[in-house]
A and B are shown apart, each in its own frame.
Chain A
Amino acid sequence: MVSSKAPTPETSARSGRAMQFWRRGEPFVWASGGALTMALSLAVAMLLVVVFNGALVFWPWPLMEVHLDDGRRLLAIEVDRQSDPHTNQQRIKYKVANKEFGPDFLWVDAERVTEVSYPPDAFVLERMAFLNYHGYLKQFVTPTLDVALEGSPVEQLASAIAAAQRRMKTEIEPILSAQGILERRLKQQVEAQMLKVKYQRRKLIAAGATPEQEDVVLLNQRLQQLEAERKELLAQSDRLSAERQRLESDIRSNVAVFVDSAGREKSMSLVDIVRGYCPNSMTIGAKLRFYVVKVWELIWTDPRESNQDGGLFPAIFGTVLMVMLMAIACFPLGVLAGIFLGEYAREGVVVRTVRIAVANLAGIPSIVYGIFGLGFFVYVVGGSLDRWLYPERVTADIQQPVFGQGCILWASLTLGLLTIPVVIVATEEAIRTIPQSIREGSYALGATKFQTLCRVLLPMSSPGIMTGFILAMARAAGEVAPLMITGMLKSAPVPVSTQFPFIHLERKFMHLGYHILDISCKSPNVEANQPMIYATTLLLLVIVLSLCSTAIYLRNRMRKRYQLRAI
């Protein structure tokens, strides 16, 4: 076959070599190299998009005053520039903010822009509501605030905000915490007790007791006490509310008046402003400082405005707590099965079945785990727990399930099941990489198999098992589909409190991955959310990929170590 197309003497040496290049299939080698390049560049492109967009979210971009040909002026940040492939005309996308006056993003044809300037006194305000504001500071009206305003406008604004916040802290926060305590007493003690008593009474009567019977009467009395207590608590709470409103309106009367590019005045209460800065007059050092502060804020504060702004603390905390619980859940079975496959199993039907099961466990789509978690953990296990512990909450007319709904416990258990195969595979590999000679040495000293396992193999393979855990955590941290079903919430407080039992497993929680889904798919203003989505994505990617790289690094090191020993 090779000889059939042998080059004839006439063909020149040059074309013969060319023919050989094609016949030997070299272009196919190149083509397969090209396939790899494309696969890798896809990954690199996506990574770069996330890193680039995510890292630049908090940079204070210059604020430009754009004059349009119709005389309008925009105080805006340029966010995008596109050119039409047919006409080569450019369009610019400006973020004009000031959502209360209209859309916060505008597309403008580049040719309509007549003049661009960078006013040094143009402010960007971050606000509690309506996202950002672009404008010029006009004046402060601070009738009930004791503060000396001096320095640059930015400093003045900062000190005014700080003073207002100080008042909030000293005057409002004690009331809020008192209200919180009242609320907790009302919900967790009085109302829960009332439900219980009512349930007991109802059960008695359903069993045939008459309303005049002694125990029914006792229950009635107890109920009346509780009702009185409830009324008292509500009244106290109302009094506190009134007081708080009075104080708050007093503090809110301190405003800063701003003017936007169209000349519209807007007076904003100082407590509604999170921060104000003039990006055009910031030095590089100030910008860097600003950047660090914003990243710090992202990690350590709560979200604002239905997750569109502010920080991610509850989501980060929820993710970490869930992953921890998950690791505890997947530990026993994962390691046991890994040891079984790595050390105890002898090749045969049983082991092959177990391996097939592991492959399947790894291959079952995560949404199926989610629906299993819903059907089994939430409704079967949670439902039974509720019927046993809180029967008064799950009657035919009252449906306030405690464990019979999605919560962090069921989410963690579901993910624990999902990540078991990762642990199994890693444990098995870790145990197998240990050279046979070490086992033999142990047996020769009279150790039983279990002793060898506990004293020799497990300590030696512990880095490998750790690898499995880290990989499992990475997988769990990024998984969203099962959590959508078994206990995630758009916005929820951290499921930890100072009250017994401190970690509230029956609560719903926030999760970074779900946060991305929520603000990119379920939000009305996706455009304005984009920076936040990129920042969240970058954070999630950093967490997942650093976990994953650590695991891979550890594993490769361990492989290398034992490869050398085996020789």
Chain B
Amino acid sequence: MQKESSGKLAAPAARTAKLIDRIARWVITGGGLLVVVCVIFILLVILWEVIPLFRPPKIATTAEFDPRLNGASELIAVNVSRVELGADFGGDAITGYTLARDGTFTFLDFSPSTATSPHAAGQTLDHDGSTDAQTISARVIGVRRVIPLEKATGKTIVAVRQAAGRSEGAGSDSERIGGTLPSKQGPASAQTDGQTDPATRSAVQKGDPGTLYTLVWSDGSIMAVEPVVSASFDEFAGRKTTYDLAVRFSVPPQPGTKPLQAQVRISESGVACVVLTEDRKLELWREVVTKDLFGNEQRETVRVRLETALPAAINTFTLDAAGKQVFAGTTDGYLMRWKLNDSGKVVFNETLPAFGDRRAITAMSTLLGDSSLAVCDSKGEVTVWFEVEEGAQRVFRLIHRVAQHAGPVRYVVASQRNKGLVSLGEDGVAHYGYSTSARTVCSFQADSPLEAVGFAARANALIGLRKDGRLIVWRVDAPHPEVTFQTLFAKVHYEGYSEPVYKWLTAGEEPKYSLVPIVFGTLKATVYALAFALPLSLFGALYVSHFTTPAFRNFVKPVIEIMAAVPSVVVGFLMLLWLGPLMSRWIVAFMASLATIPVTFVAFMLLWQLLRRVNWLKWAERGYEFAILAPVIVIGGAVAYWISPWVENLLFQGDFKHWLFEITGKPYEATNSIVVAIGLGFAIIPIILSISEDALSSVPYNLTAASLALGASRWQTVWRVVLPSASPGVFAASMMGFGRAAGETMIVFMATGNTPIIDWSPFNGFRTLASNIAMEIGEAPHGESLYRILFLCAVILFLMTLVANTAAELVRQRLRKKFGKYQ
């Protein structure tokens, strides 16, 4: 109807005013709706950081080609390394190498050609172009032979084993170990082709840990070599790819034996080499250097046979990184282990039947940290074993099943960064399994079965050698292999624990990310806080809304509001440095006061029956009860203080804290749940009190008046009429108090020990979702598992408070509607 009139009458100014009016309406409505968008946006942003935790790992082939160089012999091992450099440097740097049967390492660069070093003027290998869009051509950046060409006698490698190398500080190591090498055979890195300048060396040392290959030659000699290839920066050229090869250990052929397999481990305590001999027994070879009178060094290989209890034929074995434990598996399903002392003597030896069905054990490897052993068998299962305590004994047990192959497992390689492993089956499929989360993270399968695989040290790339002789490289993006729904919310059997537990502990090699103790702590905090605050604030609200004088009411409401404004850091500090120590001294008196204050109150009520007959004392019953009660409560407290030594002697044998420790086995903590409950109570009492007071006083006066007119007393009216009508509002107030208590950070952070334990005892602390975030976010690198799990904590907290606040708001809206018509 206005449209017409405006069309006829409006001057331009009026029309502009109308237009502005319409625009303003849109802008203001938009502003209102933006609030809704804000809430959703906050949730989406924190969810966005959580989602990668549960996203399935991404794998993509990036290169596939034929690596056979002119006349090179058959390849027996491959490896790869990937460094994510960012767009400034042409994306990823993927480098790798292959080992041929004649001992030739060929170093390869799979990165985009524009970004490769100008030094690497190598030969580009063909690739068939059949892979995805990110296909990258590989180029050879160098070739190194373990045995120089002129010394080669035509011997070949018969067996190769790989293990974590130690390229950190490779230079000095090489020298040290190089010194023990036979003089005729210098370190292979000496065969430089003019590229290993000092700058390159330092770059190599900064790269990923290398891989140590133990080679068994056809003439019976054993050698351990460590190839390293890495991408580094220099100021001028951007990226630069460097490579190096070091011989760490070498033993000449030993008379009378022919090693089938061998594994060398180099640790702080020296070099250990375990050899599987032709008769399928294990021997430990160590090199002993003796000096004669003239200072000439005499080298001798000392061979110690590792005795077994059973005459079974050993099929596979492994040596841990420290060189202190040897594990072996037999063809009939027995697992053997030996523990060695520093001088290489066997101090413990055990043989145990691993599988009931006597399946052959085909491959094994220790995982990072040496506590766990990955065992692979002929039925294709990959299992993780470690020692657990059972009674007084430590026994070796199967803990996790991490992968299942279709056929027997050929070999297994442990990751050098986490508790992961890659196993390759006879069927040519590789699985990336993870011990803590007991799952197969992803699987790798090529057109042609895989013969050998290499796993990047950062667990972000995998290279496979196919049966048809071609190489295939996958990028692996599985940044959170240790996190699954189970590891977050179910019990997990961690290394060193005798049973599956809920545990939050972010330090160490195997971080423990169970959110159960944290969620429990949040619930404990809210339960204790509400137990303290709810009665006080609900009864207080009843009193303020219906029993006291209007003048006092007008005084109390702003006081409560100011109480709500006290910063929580102030409350936290008071709890920590004032109430905590106070409570620690007077805990018995506090507990006694829980009894003495009600008793004093009842006694006072009995007394009051007499006093109230005095007319001039009657004024107290017109809204000043609270003031008369103040001294009563003080007296109750004083009585508790006075009787507390007596109570402590009577009930707790004179020392409560000692008694508590004897009974529960847990010490009294100064910053405990009682202290936090009072602190949180301080924070939530104003909220509950003021909101429920609003609800209670909004109950229409007609109802109260009718009730009073029917002869009900003031308490009966309030309890039977007002409270039921306003109960939704009281519920809303409690919900908001719950939300605040669950999300309060500073009080909990400061006033508890922040110990993530599951224990209802009021005399120890807890850790809540909020304080967990505050504790850990400083040490959580952007994008890593801990960072994302803390965002998950925030999501859980957000959803908890969302439910509580939405419910409270809905209830309040209904209540407002219901009572609105009376006003």
Contact = CB atoms under 8 A, between A and B. Distances in A.
Interface string B528-553: 00000001111110111001100000
A34 interface: yes
Contacts of B238: 202, 205-206
A18 to B, nearest CB: 5
Given A375-B791, A453-B24, A364 B645 contact: no
Nearest to A38: B536
Interface string A441-480: 0000000111101000000000000000001001101111
Given A363-B740, A517-B569, A545-B562, A29 B625 contact: yes
Interface stretch (A140-148, A243-251, A353-361): A353-361
B88 A30 contact: no
B32 A340 contact: yes
Interface in B724-738: 736
A337 B453 CA distance: 60
Q: State the majority secondary structure of interface residues on A.
A: helix
Given A34-B626, A364-B42, 11 more contacts: A41-B630, A86-B645, A336-B27, A364-B743, A391-B88, A420-B38, A448-B18, A448-B21, A484-B774, A537-B574, A548-B562
A513 B25 contact: no
Contacts of A6: none
A120 interface: no
Given A28-B715, A367-B745, A480 B569 contact: yes
Q: Which 6 A-B pairs have the closest CB atoms?
A: A365-B743, A478-B567, A336-B31, A25-B715, A340-B32, A35-B539
Given A340-B31, A478-B568, A42 B678 contact: yes
B750 A521 contact: yes
B716 interface: yes
Interface of A: 2, 17-18, 21, 24-43, 46, 49-50, 82, 85-86, 198, 201-203, 205-208, 210-211, 332-333, 336-337, 339-341, 343-345, 350, 352-372, 374-376, 379-380, 391, 395-397, 417, 420, 424, 448-451, 453, 471, 474-475, 477-481, 484-485, 513-514, 516-517, 520-521, 526, 530, 533, 537, 540-541, 544-545, 548-549, 552, 556
B90 A206 contact: yes
Interface in B546-576: 547-548, 556, 558-559, 561-563, 565-574, 576
A208, A417, A484 — which one has the most chain B CB atoms within 10 A of its CB?
A: A484
B540 A367 contact: no
Contacts of A352: 813
Given A544-B567, A556-B558, A359 B806 contact: yes
B543 A35 contact: yes
A530 B558 CA distance: 30
Contacts of A374: 777
A549 B555 CA distance: 12
A360 B801 contact: yes
Contacts of A479: 567-568
B428 interface: no
Count class of interface residues, chain B: 35 or more
B356 interface: no
A513 B571 CA distance: 11
A478 B569 contact: yes
B570 A344 contact: no
A359 B736 CA distance: 9
Contacts of A540: 567, 569-570
Contacts of A206: 88-90, 114-115, 238-239
Given A333-B35, A552-B562, A39 B569 contact: no
A553 B115 CA distance: 68
21 contacts: A25-B719, A26-B715, A29-B625, A33-B629, A35-B539, A40-B626, A42-B681, A42-B682, A211-B237, A333-B38, A344-B25, A344-B28, A360-B805, A365-B797, A368-B798, A371-B790, A372-B42, A417-B42, A450-B17, A479-B567, A537-B570
B452 to A, nearest CB: 31
A25 B713 contact: yes
A558 to B, nearest CB: 14
Interface in B205-222: none
A83 to B, nearest CB: 10
A450 B745 CA distance: 42
Interface string B657-689: 000000000000000000000100110010001
Contact of B601 (A31, A49, A201, A361): A31
B68 interface: no
Contacts of B567: 477-480, 513, 540-541, 544
Contact of B750 (A49, A211, A520): A520
B85 interface: yes
B20 interface: yes
B654 A537 contact: no
Contacts of B89: 206, 395-396
B29, B536, B567, B589 — which one has the most chain A CB atoms within 10 A of its CB?
A: B567
B746 A517 contact: yes
B390 to A, nearest CB: 41
Contacts of A35: 535-540, 543
Contact of A371 (B543, B563, B773, B802): B773
Nearest to B745: A481
Contacts of B86: 395-396
Contacts of A364: 39, 42, 743, 798, 801-802
B742 interface: yes
Given A336-B28, A353-B36, A517-B746, A46 B539 contact: no
Nearest to B576: A520
Nearest to A533: B573
B746 A32 contact: no
Given A86-B645, A344-B25, A365 B801 contact: yes
Contact of B559 (A43, A50, A339): A43
B714 A29 contact: yes
Contacts of B569: 478, 480, 513-514, 516-517, 540
A366 B85 contact: no
Interface string B498-536: 000000000000000000000000000000000000011
Nearest to A343: B28
A366 B745 contact: yes
A448 B17 contact: yes
Contacts of B558: 549, 552, 556
Contacts of A343: 28
B577, B578, B602, B778 — which one has the most chain A CB atoms within 10 A of its CB?
A: B577
A134 B118 CA distance: 70
B149 interface: no
A272 B544 CA distance: 57
A337 B32 contact: yes
Given A27-B605, A206-B89, A358-B35, A368 B743 contact: yes
Contact of B539 (A31, A341, A355): A31
B33 interface: yes
Contacts of B589: 85
A360 B806 contact: yes
A50 B574 contact: yes
Contact of B543 (A29, A43, A471, A549): A29
Interface in B39-88: 39, 42, 45-46, 48-49, 84-86, 88
B534 to A, nearest CB: 10
B739 interface: yes
B473 interface: no
A526 B577 contact: yes
A50 B648 CA distance: 31
A362 B809 CA distance: 11
Contacts of A530: 577
B568, B573, B654, B801 — which one has the most chain A CB atoms within 10 A of its CB?
A: B573
Contacts of B790: 371
A519 B570 CA distance: 12
Contacts of A397: 233
A50 B578 CA distance: 10
Contact of B570 (A33, A420, A450, A516): A516
B810 interface: yes
